[in-house]
Chains A and B, each alone.
Chain A
Amino acid sequence: MTAVNGKGSAISLPISIRNVTKTYGTFTALDNVSLEIASGEFITLLGPSGSGKTTLLMVLAGFIRPASGEVRFGDRDVSLLPPHKRDVGMVFQNYALFPHMTVAGNVGYPLRLRGVAKSEIADRVQKVLALVQLGELGTRNIDQLSGGQRQRVALARAIVFEPRILLMDEPLSALDKKLREQMQIEVRHLHQRLGMTTVYVTHDQREALTMSDRVAVIDKGRFHQIGSPRDVYERPESRFIAEFIGESHLVAVSMRGGTAHYRDRPLQLAEPPRHPSGQQFLVMRPEKLKLLTGGEDGLNVFEGTAREIVYQGESTLLYVDLPDDVEVAIRQPATNVGPALPAPGTPVRLGLPAGDTMLVPAERAP
């Protein structure tokens, strides 16, 4: 199998999406979106439901024809190519396994379509089933499989014909949390081994951060930020991104002479605001905040009143009221050592390291 050779241009293709627009009546599902995906890249389209992420995936697969725009796989314009000629593997949210075929029948289906010799089909099906750790289950019927096994069969079926592009539409959303996290790692490893360009759709931001080389955050048919997981999490470009990815509380700040001020106190910033026009907000992530007991070097300090302690097992959240009805939260790892959290009603001081102090605009500049 050539696909198991590792990364390389022969087994993957870059994708270029240019100015794709799709409307349904007055509803704009995709609003002139463009995206360049590198060969072999694992990119995740992340967005809330109805954001257009699945629509874009369906455009790539050829099931939805955009109103305008262009899609290229490598040098080839595939905009008008029907789905069955695109040679992309696809995994659907509900797996869509064929119940009238066995596991091996399902996985062998794309090979039979391509006129591969019978003996070779058996061989390749066996290999790919071993790859997804289902080596023994080829003769099983679909209804005898667990949810996780179905997921693996769907994956095996989508990669058995060695497509250079793999599309996945929320493939893990039907699994329970534990299995989902395990499969995230497995899919990631599989991608590292096979190396095909992978476009992955999810509404789960943690999943997106875990799996991807790059995350493209999409909402209302437009990309709001495209970047590495770390970039998207650590350096959100807008209020929407900061709130959608991870947990954060936003605190309004005022700009005076190029410097951000919180309640007339200047703030030390990690970098100047990237979209300085309009109202700016300070991104306060619970795990970045520190409960101050003494020194405050290199920290922006906020004073407030402890309101409520929420025990969450591996950590504890302390909600703090800042002046002007602003609420923030601070996360403390759950240990039995160290100082107890302040009781509700007592004044607290919070510190945010300068390197973690980010500003986002209310709305991203148009």
Chain B
Amino acid sequence: MLRRPATETQITHGGRLWLYVLGGLTLLFLILPSLLVIPLSFSDSRYLAFPPPGWSTRWYEAYFDAIEWRDATAMSFTAATLTMVISTALGTLAAYGMHTSQSRFTQLAYATFMLPLIIPGILIAIGIFLLYAHLGLNNTLTGIVLAHSVMAIPLVVILVASSFKSYDMNQEMVARSLGASRPWAFLTVTLPQIKTSVISAALLAFITSLDEVVISLFIAGGDKATLTRRMFNALRDEIDPTIAAISTLLILISVFLLGLTQLLQRSPSQQPTPGNEPSPRQSAKA
């Protein structure tokens, strides 16, 4: 095996052993720490030693028994769901408009949509805090959802716009020549074909809101505290094992959502048609 050539230029697998080892270790570095949290969450000890001295579900009970954790969880999920709906709708519309419009402002609009990703998060956070202080939107669901939508829309725009790049706009033209109005052609022909990207974008928007920390630190206080804000404050004080339980649940959600996007991409309706290059969606997720 090690003597077999690994490339066309005749480097053997053996000669590349270092590459496999280094790559493997780097991958372990990426995933192992998060996964280690899962067994720790079932420890019966306050001290998070590994392997745990004994097993229990006490930290899950602690989480489900605490009203403030439950409220924060409900708050986070409500905000994430609303953010997902708003940012997916606005982001998809914008991506479609910018793709089809001949307007010379398209470039400028696209650049503007990217600004929330470029501007440092802390700056956006204190800015929104300042704005909300005057509008009375601090510690409100509306405020949180609007702020999170601003962070999620750019991601939706990137994902959906990249799916338009590999989509054959002739199809929409053909639909229109066959008698479909533009909105109807979009709904019946374009949307079904880019739905994978739109759904992926929606999931990404959801997770973006669910995981958002910095803005929530400033604007989601009091009884509107999100899960991340409570977690952050708890982490600053001490390493509470309850957070291991919450983390495990969050990891499961992440794995579920990531798995969902992968399943969607493999569904048969997404097979590339001639003239359609498969798009590098994976990379756009960053």
Q: Indicate whether A and B interact.
A: yes
Given A94-B275, A109-B178, 15 new contacts (CB under 8 A): A82-B176, A82-B182, A83-B176, A83-B177, A84-B181, A84-B182, A90-B174, A90-B177, A92-B170, A92-B174, A94-B168, A98-B171, A109-B180, A109-B188, A167-B177
B173 near A143: Cβ-Cβ < 8 Å: no
User: A87 in the interface, Cβ–Cβ < 8 Å?
Assistant: yes
User: A256 in the interface, Cβ–Cβ < 8 Å?
Assistant: no
A89 near B177: Cβ-Cβ < 8 Å: yes
A84 near B271: Cβ-Cβ < 8 Å: no
Q: Which residues of B contact A161 (CB under 8 A)?
A: 178-179
A92 near B179: Cβ-Cβ < 8 Å: no
With A88-B177, A90-B174, A143-B271 given, is the CB distance from A98 to B184 under 8 Å? no
B193 near A113: Cβ-Cβ < 8 Å: no
- For window 299-335 of A, CB contacts with B under 8 Å fall at none
- How many residues of B are counted as interface, with CB atoms below 8 angstroms from the partner's CB atoms? 24
B273 near A99: Cβ-Cβ < 8 Å: yes
> Contact residues of A with B, CB < 8 Å?
61-63, 82-90, 92, 94, 96-100, 109-110, 113-114, 142-143, 157-158, 161, 167
A96 near B168: Cβ-Cβ < 8 Å: yes
A87 near B179: Cβ-Cβ < 8 Å: yes
B177 near A113: Cβ-Cβ < 8 Å: no
**In the complex, what residue of chain B is closest to A150 when comparing beta carbons?**
B274
- For window 162-176 of B, CB contacts with A under 8 Å fall at 168, 170-171, 173-176
A158 to B177, CA, bound (A): 9
> Contact residues of B with A, CB < 8 Å?
168, 170-171, 173-182, 184-185, 188-189, 192-193, 269, 271, 273-275
The 10 A-B pairs with the shortest beta carbon distances in the complex, nearest first, are A110-B178, A90-B177, A96-B170, A83-B176, A96-B174, A113-B179, A99-B273, A100-B192, A96-B171, A84-B176
Give the distance to chain B from A56, nearest Cβ to Cβ, in Å.
Answer: 15
A161 to B173, CA, bound (A): 17
B170 near A94: Cβ-Cβ < 8 Å: yes
A98 to B186, CA, bound (A): 12
A62 to B182, CA, bound (A): 12
